[in-house]
Amino acid sequence: MLGSLLSDDLPRSRLLAAALVAIVAALALAPFLFPGAAAINTAAKICIFIVLVASYDLLIGYTGIVSFAHTMFFGIGAYGVGLGLYSFGATWPVLFVGLLVALVAGIALALLIGLMSLRVRAIFFAMITLAVASAFMILATQFSEFTGGEDGRSFKVPELLRPATKFLDAPVLGVDINGRLAAYYLVFASAAALFLLALRIVNSPFGRVLQAIRENDMRAEALGYRVVYFRTVATLIAAAMAVAAGALSALWLRYTGPDTTLSFAIMLDILLMVVIGGMGTMYGAVIGASLFILAQNYLQRLMGLAAEALAGVPVLPHLVHPDRWLLWLGVLFVLSVYYFPSGIVGRLRGRK
Amino acid sequence: MSVPVLETRDLTIRFGGHVAVDAVSCAFRAGTLTAIVGPNGAGKTTYFNLISGQLAASAGAVLLDGEDITRLGAAGRATRGIGRAFQITNLFPNLTVIENVRLAVQARADNSRHLWSRWSRHVEWIARAERALEEVNLIDQRETIAAALPHGDKRKLEVAIMMALEPHVFMFDEPTAGMSVDEVPVILDLIHKLKAHGDKTILLVEHKMDVVRSLADRIIVLHNGQLVADGEPAAVIASPIVQEAYLGQAPGRKPEAAHG
């Protein structure tokens, strides 16, 4: 049962297994364990980014394709659902049609980029994705009548997912059983399903060929694998998953805009999460996304506490002042790459 | 006479002004081991690359079972039964030994592109890969990462990958190069066994003349990209053109040493 759910790709490290169980349990029970809007937002963001990072790892970690267009597909998903709900009303059919349109657009765009450029050297492919993603971001901000421009669009979600929708009159364990809770569990369940799907794909015969291509594309070709076909299909799958993650993001935030989905800052975050978690391991996406987003959201607060505690001591309070949180995030990143070049998961699995 | 398994017709490749393989026409028949000899730089490996599709010909044609495959890429030629073991070891470095071979077995299967089944459940692929490793005496290194193997074992793995492809045409490019003396017999035995099947088409680039003598049914000689001799081993080795072009330059010395 567990083997078939995890596609026979078990964590193979007790510590990793424990960490994964802890993360999954925390996310599954987040609304009850961590009350408050900030905590639940963080949990939903982790769920969404696990999917986004896993789909990116399918490209960079498993197939060895460096793409900078991943946030573009994330954005296509968010805008597809978001603009649909904004323009045609907050109903389920609109939501699904928006998702479908986004999936078709995302896959078509990925196919176009793939066929045009996967035959060329990796560096050119990276440059082309960068160019296309930049063009897309400019389009999204310039077509402001349609997309809301820099400000993006806020919209309503279907009634079932609205905070005002109450399922029970009385709170359970101090938590209101409302549409917001339903929305969280929709995000959580979708993310879990998409992650397990990605795990199955990398452990399929197809996924094994992707690893062979990453290792030595010329040898893979000499065995009879048409490398362009495999690279293209991998690109399409990753794009489709990013679109789905974008749709979840739009549903959760009830907002879509360039800064939340399309920006290169997010692309960079995804890259860091993949590297911190461990390239070429799907579990790395879970660990990387969780750690990174927790640090992003709570490091500042933690440092504020530290600065208060150290008040009166010379120099130190300035070092841990909340305004320096990016510095410390950078230090943590450098240390983690230095000590775990194969990522946290690579390190944990390597120890055996 | 029947159609040859493999044939090249005026096969040519130019790199700028340099003609690396120059109008080589040659037919290879089933059940024959053909050794391809010639000094370093004669175009032997380039000729191999043109046959297995790593390089595209400037002119001429490659035929497999009478069918023109010149326009096919390396993948298409591999699926049609041309197997290649490379001179410069060409593995999947960060994958295990068994996975290197298993990928070759999988390439032959109809369901090699399945997205949904689990690779670990295709036990028949793993079993076939284990047999290929047993054939080259590498089964003890099953779980070793390929990059960590000693040189001789890498050469064996290279050969095991080709064996697992179960091709019709076996192309060995100096399979024993850089192997220690006690490792060489494993590979030679394997080629002998292949020959014993009686229906395999085997091409062998080899510098060691004792190996060539013991294995070859026929020798062709390449020199400056051209086919300069073709025939029975004894006759070819004795021919003046070979003595001059290749063997005569330093009797008893290996050409690698001579070309340093």
CATH number of the domain that residue B30 is part of: 3.40.50.300
Mutate which of A223, A230, A233, A236 to disrupt the B interface (most B C-beta within 10 Å)?
Answer: A223
- Picking from A8, A209, A230, the nearest residue to B120 by CB comes out as A8
Residue A199's domain comprises 2-351
pLDDT tens for each residue of B200-258: 999 999 988 888 989 999 999 999 999 998 999 989 888 887 777 665 554 444 444 33
DSSP designation for A119: T
pLDDT at B247: 57
Residue B46 pLDDT exceeds 50: yes
- In terms of CA atoms, which chain B residue is nearest residue A215? B92
Contact A262, A147 (CB under 8 A): no
Read off the pLDDT band of B115 (50, 70, 90).
confident
Read off the pLDDT band of B18 (50, 70, 90).
very high
Give the span between the Cα atoms of B18 and B31, in whole angstroms. Answer: 34
pLDDT at B19: 94
Q: Do B104 and A223 touch (CB under 8 A)?
A: yes
Chain A residues with CB under 8 Å of B76 CB are 224, 226
The pLDDT of B70-80, averaged and rounded, is 95
Q: Is B109 on the interface with A (CB under 8 A)?
A: yes
Burial (CB count within 10 angstroms: exposed 0-12, middle 13-18, buried 19+), residue B198: exposed
Angle between the N-to-C axes of helices A37-57 and A14-28, in degrees from 0 to 180, rounded to the nearest 10: 130
Contact B124, B170 (CB under 8 A): no
Q: Do A209 and B99 touch (CB under 8 A)?
A: no
CB count in 10 Å sphere of residue A102? 27
The amino acid present at B193, given as its one-letter code, is K
CB count in 10 Å sphere of residue A177? 17
Give the span between the Cα atoms of B114 and A204, in whole angstroms. Answer: 6
Q: Do A227 and B95 touch (CB under 8 A)?
A: no
Q: Please identify which residue in the block is written with the tokens 């297995």.
A: B52
Give the span between the Cα atoms of A338 and A334, in whole angstroms. Answer: 6
Give the span between the Cα atoms of A165 and B170, in whole angstroms. Answer: 70
Q: Number of Cβ pairs closer than 8 Å across A and B?
A: 99
pLDDT at B259: 39
Chain A residues with CB under 8 Å of B108 CB are 224
The pLDDT of B141-153, averaged and rounded, is 93
In a domain, B215, yes or no: yes
The amino acid present at A116, given as its one-letter code, is M
State whether residue A156 is helix, strand or coil: coil
Give the span between the Cα atoms of B254 and B96, in whole angstroms. Answer: 34
Chain A residues with CB under 8 Å of B79 CB are 224
Residue B235's domain comprises 1-81+169-177+202-260
pLDDT at A310: 84
Cβ within 8 Å of A, B 114-153: 114-122
Q: Is B168 on the interface with A (CB under 8 A)?
A: no
Please enumerate, as own/partner, the contacts of A12-15 that have beta carbons within 8 Å and a separation of 24 or more: A12/A349, A12/A352, A13/A348, A13/A349, A13/A351, A13/A352, A15/A348
pLDDT at B256: 44
Chain A residues with CB under 8 Å of B165 CB are 223-224
Apex A291 CA angle, A286 and A292, nearest 5: 105
Q: Do A223 and B78 touch (CB under 8 A)?
A: yes
- In terms of CA atoms, which chain A residue is nearest residue B117? A204
In a domain, B57, yes or no: yes
Q: Is B15 on the interface with A (CB under 8 A)?
A: no
Q: In tens digits, what is the pLDDT along chain A, a chain of 352 residues?
A: 788 889 888 888 999 999 999 999 999 999 999 988 899 999 999 999 999 999 999 999 999 999 999 999 999 999 999 999 999 999 999 999 999 999 999 999 999 998 887 777 788 889 999 999 999 999 999 998 889 989 999 999 998 999 888 888 888 888 888 999 999 999 999 999 999 999 999 999 999 999 999 999 999 999 999 999 999 999 999 999 999 999 999 999 999 999 999 999 999 999 999 999 999 999 999 999 999 999 988 888 888 888 888 888 888 888 888 888 888 888 888 888 888 888 999 888 875 4
How many residues are present in chain A? 352
Report CA Rg, chain B.
18
Q: Which two tokens stand for residue A303?
A: 């440092």
Give the span between the Cα atoms of B129 and A136, in whole angstroms. Answer: 47
- In terms of CA atoms, which chain B residue is nearest residue A7? B118
Instruction: Identify the helix (H) or strand (E) that includes residue B12.
Output: strand B6-15
In a domain, B164, yes or no: no
Number of domains composing chain A: 1
Q: How far is A292 from chain B (nearest CA, A)?
A: 28
Residue B116 pLDDT exceeds 90: no
Q: Do A221 and B52 touch (CB under 8 A)?
A: no
**How high is the mean pLDDT of chain B?**
89
**Listed residue (B213, B252, B255, B257) closest to B236, CA to CA:** B213
Higher pLDDT, B34 or A341: B34
The pLDDT of B142-156, averaged and rounded, is 93
Q: How far is A282 from chain B (nearest CA, A)?
A: 15
Q: Is A263 on the interface with B (CB under 8 A)?
A: no
The pLDDT of B121-139, averaged and rounded, is 94
- Picking from A207, A211, A216, the nearest residue to B90 by CB comes out as A216
The pLDDT of B161-185, averaged and rounded, is 92
Give the span between the Cα atoms of B68 and A254, in whole angstroms. Answer: 60
Give the span between the Cα atoms of A109 and A277, in whole angstroms. Answer: 28
SS (H, E, C) A271-318: HHHHHHHCCCCHHHHHHHHHHHHHHHHHHHHHHHHHHHHCCCCCCHHH
Number of domains composing chain B: 1
Q: What is the CATH number of the domain that holds A271?
A: 1.10.3470
Q: Do A209 and B103 touch (CB under 8 A)?
A: yes
Phi, psi at B35, each rounded to 5° = -90, 135
**Chain center to CA of B128:** 21
Give the span between the Cα atoms of B166 and B29, in whole angstroms. Answer: 17
Q: Do B117 and A226 touch (CB under 8 A)?
A: no
Angle between the N-to-C axes of helices A282-309 and A343-351, in degrees from 0 to 180, rounded to the nearest 10: 110
Apex A54 CA angle, A53 and A56, nearest 5: 65
Chain B residues with CB under 8 Å of A4 CB are 118
Burial track A234-260 (b if 16+ CB lie within 10 A, e otherwise): bbbbbbbbbbbbbbbbbbbbbbbbbeb
Q: Is A87 on the interface with B (CB under 8 A)?
A: no
Q: Do A224 and B107 touch (CB under 8 A)?
A: yes
Chain A residues with CB under 8 Å of B157 CB are none
In a domain, B117, yes or no: no
- Picking from A207, A216, A221, the nearest residue to B73 by CB comes out as A221
CB count in 10 Å sphere of residue A220? 25
pLDDT at B245: 63
Give the span between the Cα atoms of A201 and A172, in whole angstroms. Answer: 38
DSSP designation for B27: E
Report CA Rg, chain A.
21
Q: Which ipTM score applies to this complex?
A: 0.89
